[in-house]
Amino acid sequence: MFKFLSSDPVHNPTASSTADTEVKTTTCYMCACRCGIRVHLRDGQVRYIDGNPDHPLNKGVICAKGSSGIMKQVSPARLTQPLLRKPGSERGEGVFEPISWERAFDILEKRLSHLRATDPKKFALFTGRDQMQALTGLFARQFGTPNYAAHGGFCSVNMAAGMIYSVGGSFWEFGGPDLDHAKLFVMIGTAEDHHSNPMKMALGKFKRAGGRFISINPVRTGYSAIADEWIPIRPGTDGALFMALLHELIAHDLVDRPFLQRFTNAPQLVVLDDGEREGLFAFDPAAGVPGDGRNPHNKLAWDLTSGRAIQAYPEGVEEGRSLALEGHYTLPDGTRVAPAFQLLRERVSQHTPEWAETITGIPAERIRQLAREMGETALHQAFELPIPWTDAWGKQHPTTQARPVAFHAMRGLAAHSNGFQTVRSLAVLMSLLGTIDAPGGFRHKAPYPRHIVPNYRAFNDPDMIKPNTPLNAAPLGFPANPEELAVHADGTPLRIDHAFSWEHPLSAHGLMHNVITNAVRGDPYKIDTLLIFMANMAWNSTMNTMEVRKKLNARGEDGEYLIPFLVVCDAFQSETVAFADLVLPDTTYLERHDVMSMLDRPISEFDGPVDSVRVPVVEPTGECKPFQEVLIELASRLKFPAFTNEDGSRKFKDYPDFVVNFQAQPGVGFLMGWRGKDGTQHLRGDPNPNQWEMYAKNNCVFQHHMPKNQQYMRNWNRPYLDFAKEKGWRQKNDPVQLAIYSDTLQTFRLAAQGKSKGRQPPDHLRERIATYFDPLPFWYEPLENACVDTQQFPLAAITQRPMAMYHSWDSQNAWLRQIHSHNYLHVNPVTAKAAGVEDGGWAWVTSAWGELRCMVRHSDAVEPGTVWTWNAIGKASGAWQLAPGADESRKGFLLNHLITEELPFAGGQISNSDPVTGQAGWYDVRVNLRPAHAEEPAESFPQLDAVPSVPGLLRSGRRFMTHILSKKP
């Protein structure tokens, strides 16, 4: 009997567990934050989920999403059986027959073993928001295909790459704001997003302690709701703001000069003469130490004390040296040089606040004040922590210098085609203030910082794609120069997504968003089998969704699909499932083992490394199988070397066995806690057969606290660098000098200008590379602006996540959809009234690429030139087992219909992405707005035919609700 109107709570959270209640700990996966949770079970069913108070990340805090995991578990859209598309049916019709796992494995084994033995690159593996890239990347590498990536290319690779190529680490998993010591916190381009609960907890504490919080964002939502000040900014213009702030900080000498001289490449001398060394650092080939192998420490700096060029490393850090940051100099051989900082100073000299005002919409005076506030807080309100530390050159620092200005930024900066240089300009700004791994500033999380450039090269040798042979390098990595690109001798791409090609050289996370289009086009070649995991490519995980859906159904002249075999692994009946040839039902996060590994994306804290696991708290539903188990099974059947004993037998029984026994290097495995045969070694040690049990007994988490003297200044901290090398997190223990100036970028520019020997880009890409691979940060208009009439499409359109939902997985959650079941387009009242669109009214939104009809809400919390909505709430009718006509499809809408996947370029097309990294330019789209006619249907456009149900769906949600609501706790 339902008791919806009863005042009795369904569950009393303060009541102690009853004898028939079992409580198990694991890790949440309702978003990517990875909080510790306690799952309360009765009769083998999940009855309640709360935060684990003993977990270091969330300390018992849980959000609406996390506690709604129970509804994910019983979602009626759960797939429960492997499915094979029925012969004669079309993709998209969703006509499947249930098959056994044995048959599914048999089909895959035959198909994949043939591909592996003939042409391995015809197999492509692309995954969505998973947290197991160390395993999926290993699978692709062992298979022998370079065609692998996860979702980062359409998420935030600009944030990762822009920061890592500049300071060796990045926000969120790799580092973040130290709000315990900050006095000023500036959040830019971030809504309710990654690092959710910890950020909220830290913000609450920061505000209570009197900290000042400024949010810079076109929209005031999420965390910004409690900001002391909201500074609205036009989308895609953050880089212009940072350039003006740099201008002001340098003009008023509000920069940390000793920090720049000792810990960055600001004093290093850049060659000014034309030629193959132009724009690179002057160096002494006979001096210096090897560095990280790709970036030797042999650069020169100008010593003002002796009036001559000296070795920047280590001479430049000796007592009594005074390294020039400004000026122009001539080396003994006549070469003209200038310190990198001088070039930065010249670069920003024209970028006045008035210049930035016209671009950003922020008044020049406010920009001036902001720069003053940042600089004065960092330098004049600085303090020291009584923590002595030793730098990489042996100098003892009696205290640790705080720089109490913290920043946090995310997709608002990243999801633009100018995002890499924008993020770099922020990284340089932070470096000038000395806030890198300093108390109160940005702090790294182990295993970061990495080298600049990280010591992970992406696979790039076409001759090493061989039958039945693993690749000689991982498919993803960080190119350091043109020779490391994944291109053929003629410059054409090696990979199906064109990652690491001249089109997007530093695409460290691949370009998942272009795979289907390229594969259908056969550019650069045709593939046979595409395996997609946890990515809704037929809906919100692609740009211009409707075209991609057509492409999934496209056939060649021979009548065969242009992507011959499409395998989809998902836990739910997403829009993409109907297009699959083979469907593999994944488990939920409550039904499986999982690792948040130091080899991948751990949950480290500022004071030391942390990794964690998920353990099954309930049995898998139906015949669901964790994707990890699918990979281990296939790797064993296909006899990948890393998964096979010398006698040909399989090496690992299953995924838990793999996690315990696989070693990336001696003593370094997927998990760092309780290693060694008896479980007494941590961080590094032999495999421990009982490692899973130890994690399960310890809240599913292992945390190591480093000594205080290793917790700051880790780019240069001698004990930390030694420790990190010893534990296998880094290959070398040399310091990581911050890249105010990027000679890495300059090597690409020289190639494009035809000035360097070695690889050069195809002619049609020369100007593009030469323009965007600027060694100094700069701002340029998002690329879409050059392709559309911005008078005709005057508004920027962006998306953000709502607090209660995360990607499409949670947009059909029975509890969360009661908070919002559809979205609105939020428009500033001034803009809406000018367009004649009423609050709550229907409107058409048009871009150069498409149009949609949606409901509009007037909102003062958005700047007048921007419209925005939540993403992934709009659904195709019938998908996710939503009833046809559900609000999600009838009133909800998907902004993707307005976004193009490609832009016109050089007489053809090129990905609508950042030209440096390939990050999808989601937030570049320009639109206009007009009211819908009164006689038009009150429903969103486009509407799609209802997605058919597939066999074997759980459909038990209603039964479960009846069950749970009819019982007292």
Q: Which residues bind ligand SF4 (CB under 6 A)?
A: 28, 30-31, 33-35, 58, 62-63, 65-66, 196-197
* DSSP string covering 247-282: HHHHHTT-S-HHHHHHHBSTTBEEE-SSSTTTTSBP
Residue number with CB closer to ligand SF4 (35 or 947)? 35
Residue number with CB closer to ligand SF4 (49 or 186)? 49
Least distance CB 808 / ligand SF4 (angstroms): 15
DSSP state, residue 226: G
Residue given tokens 């323009």 in the structure block: 771
Cα–Cα distance between 511 and 153 in angstroms, integer? Answer: 5
Cβ pair 223, 200 in contact under 8 A: yes
Residue number with CB closer to ligand SF4 (204 or 522)? 204
Alpha helices in 264-363 (DSSP H): 340-348, 353-360
Single-letter residue type at 448: Y
Chain residue at closest Cβ approach to ligand SF4: 66
Residue number with CB closer to ligand SF4 (13 or 467)? 13
Count of alpha carbons within 13 Å of 941, Cβ hemisphere only? 13
Cα–Cα distance between 635 and 633 in angstroms, integer? Answer: 6
Least distance CB 26 / ligand SF4 (angstroms): 11
- Residues 159-181 as b or e (16 or more Cβ within 10 Å = b): bbbbbbbbbbbbbbbbbbbbbeb
Residue number with CB closer to ligand SF4 (174 or 893)? 174
Question: How far from the centroid of its chain's Cα atoms is residue 726's Cα?
Answer: 28
Residue number with CB closer to ligand SF4 (34 or 509)? 34
How far, CA to CA in Å, does 925 sit from each of 145, 782, 895, 896?
Answer: 34, 9, 10, 10
Cα–Cα distance between 947 and 884 in angstroms, integer? Answer: 8
Least distance CB 197 / ligand SF4 (angstroms): 4
For 248, list phi and psi in degrees, rounded to 5. -70, -45
Cα–Cα distance between 88 and 254 in angstroms, integer? Answer: 70
Cα–Cα distance between 33 and 613 in angstroms, integer? Answer: 13
Other CB atoms within a 10 A radius of the CB of residue 336 amount to 15
Residue number with CB closer to ligand SF4 (63 or 635)? 63
Q: Residue 365: exposed, middle, or buried by beta-carbon count in 10 A (0-12, 13-18, 19+)?
A: exposed
Residue number with CB closer to ligand SF4 (29 or 741)? 29
CB-based contacts of 334: which residues, under 8 Å, 6+ apart? none
Of residues 275, 357, 263, the one with CA closest to residue 301: 263
For 668, list phi and psi in degrees, rounded to 5. -115, 115
Residue number with CB closer to ligand SF4 (193 or 774)? 193
Of residues 481, 450, 434, the one with CA closest to residue 266: 434
Cα–Cα distance between 149 and 174 in angstroms, integer? Answer: 19
Least distance CB 604 / ligand SF4 (angstroms): 16
Q: CA gyration radius for the chain?
A: 27
Residue number with CB closer to ligand SF4 (632 or 872)? 872
Mapped onto helix, strand or coil, the DSSP state of residue 734 is coil
Least distance CB 126 / ligand SF4 (angstroms): 24
Least distance CB 695 / ligand SF4 (angstroms): 17
Residue number with CB closer to ligand SF4 (31 or 903)? 31
Residue number with CB closer to ligand SF4 (81 or 196)? 196
Residue number with CB closer to ligand SF4 (198 or 440)? 198
Residue number with CB closer to ligand SF4 (64 or 385)? 64
For 36, list phi and psi in degrees, rounded to 5. -80, 135
Q: Is 440 left (phi over 0), alpha (psi -120 to 50) or beta?
A: left
Other CB atoms within a 10 A radius of the CB of residue 666 amount to 10
Count of alpha carbons within 13 Å of 736, Cβ hemisphere only? 31
Other CB atoms within a 10 A radius of the CB of residue 21 amount to 15
What is the arrangement of strands in the sheet containing 22-27, beginning at the earlier edge strand?
22-27, 36-42, 45-51
How far, CA to CA in Å, does 328 sit from each of 242, 277, 338, 591, 610?
Answer: 25, 17, 5, 64, 47
Of residues 146, 82, 119, 95, the one with CA closest to residue 633: 82
Least distance CB 66 / ligand SF4 (angstroms): 3
Residue number with CB closer to ligand SF4 (48 or 662)? 48
Cβ pair 483, 744 in contact under 8 A: no
Least distance CB 68 / ligand SF4 (angstroms): 8
Residue number with CB closer to ligand SF4 (26 or 821)? 26
Residue number with CB closer to ligand SF4 (191 or 660)? 191
Cα–Cα distance between 521 and 554 in angstroms, integer? Answer: 10
Residue number with CB closer to ligand SF4 (62 or 310)? 62
Least distance CB 27 / ligand SF4 (angstroms): 8
- Please give the structure tokens belonging to residue 209: 């302690």
